[in-house]
Amino acid sequence: MAESSRPTTPPTRSDAPRRPGPPELSSAQKLMVFVLSMTLFGLANIVTEVIPEVRVGPVEVGVSYLAFVPVIMVALFNPLYAALGAPLGEVVFVDLLMGDFSGIGELEGYLQMFLGLYIAGCLVRDPRSPRQLFAAGAVVVIVDKMLSAVVDIAKVSVGVDDAEFVPGLPQSILLLEGIDFVVALLVSGILFGALPAMALAPRLYGKIEPLLGLAPRDPGHPMPLAQRGTAAFMLLALFLSFVSMIAAFTSEIFDNFGVWEPDFIEQYGDRFLWIGASAALIVLVALAVAVRFVLASRRARAAQGSHGPDAQNTGERR
């Protein structure tokens, strides 16, 4: 255990060229980043609970979360562990402790937030750059809300018989989702996400990492290109799945296609091909990402296996 819980040595010049990415974390450091991110976002969520909200109809003009806290975490620390921890903080501190746990719905929220944060964290190369922090803050909310819109629309289309034929239903759902998206992007994403992160992250940079025994993120050695590429791909895939979902949902509205018949290619023409192609692309990209991730984690595990006998117990799982 002593072997793996000792803080990794700071990136010495000799091993920098061998590993293009940031230094590998020990299992204790992964746990630290995870717990820190969880605790802080949990606390932020409790604070959010206290802040009053203005409701206009179903649209909440309020702070749905203080996004700057996890954005700073993923910008400064390893994005994977920080992004895994932050949404768990919300689940644990607010939902479980305050008795507001909603079962499967929590899983949905967790995954949305995790993906958003992870992508945002991989986009930040230098935590001192305001531009990258701004992008990160916006990306978190965009991904989160886009996914939640997809889930909501899926719920309607599964839950209601032939939802796209019910007059007025698809438009109203889309309208609601649209308003929600814009409000969340402005309030949670920019006002309480990007702007505070731009103010705080550069000040914390270089101060908070040594407290955990970590080296600050080095812009000269960014996340490996593969990882950043993966983030961009994921973003594209999410966007495409979003677009295809909307397209599939609204295709019935704009053109009166009538019933679903075997000769749909003639009826739906190019649009259907587009949806099919984007669906195939999404599956392909997801597969590639999954394989890549599995390979990477296997490699990491193998690398740790050479260090000590407790290689498979280092929290790589999950």
Site for another protein in 296-315 (CB under 8 A): 310, 313-315
Smallest gap from residue 233 Cβ to another protein (A): 25
Question: Among 48-56, 121-129, 268-276, 291-299, which window interacts with another protein (CB under 8 A)?
Answer: 48-56
User: Alpha carbon of 120 to those of 40, 115, 138, 141, 268: distances in Å?
Assistant: 18, 8, 8, 10, 36
Site for another protein (CB under 8 A): which residue of 133, 147, 173, 285?
173
Question: Among 103-111, 121-129, 271-279, 298-306, which window interacts with another protein (CB under 8 A)?
Answer: 103-111
The residue among 98 and 294 lying less far from another protein, judged by its C-beta, is 98
Residue 102 contacts another protein per CB under 8 A: yes
The residue among 49 and 255 lying less far from another protein, judged by its C-beta, is 49
Amino acid identity of 243? V
Do 280 and 239 form a contact (C-beta atoms < 8 A)? Answer: no
Site for another protein (CB under 8 A): which residue of 3, 10, 16, 175?
175
Smallest gap from residue 81 Cβ to another protein (A): 10
Residue 34 contacts another protein per CB under 8 A: yes
Site for another protein (CB under 8 A): which residue of 88, 115, 123, 147?
88
The residue among 173 and 237 lying less far from another protein, judged by its C-beta, is 173
Residue 181 contacts another protein per CB under 8 A: no
The residue among 69 and 184 lying less far from another protein, judged by its C-beta, is 69
Alpha-helical regions (H) of the chain = 2-5, 27-50, 68-76, 79-89, 104-123, 130-159, 169-184, 195-204, 208-211, 225-254, 264-305
Smallest gap from residue 161 Cβ to another protein (A): 4
Site for another protein (CB under 8 A): which residue of 8, 21, 24, 39?
39
Residue 57 contacts another protein per CB under 8 A: yes
Which residue from 25, 38, 149 is spatially nearest to 94, judged by alpha carbons? 38
For 59, which DSSP code?
Answer: E
Give exposure, 215-229, as e/b (b: 16+ Cβ within 10 Å).
bbbeeebbbeeebbe
- Cβ-based neighbours of 106, under 8 Å, separated by 6 or more: 91, 95
Residue 53 contacts another protein per CB under 8 A: no
Smallest gap from residue 215 Cβ to another protein (A): 14
Residue 43 contacts another protein per CB under 8 A: yes
Which residue from 288, 295, 293, 255 is spatially nearest to 271, judged by alpha carbons? 255
User: How far is C-alpha 225 from the chain's CA centre?
Assistant: 18
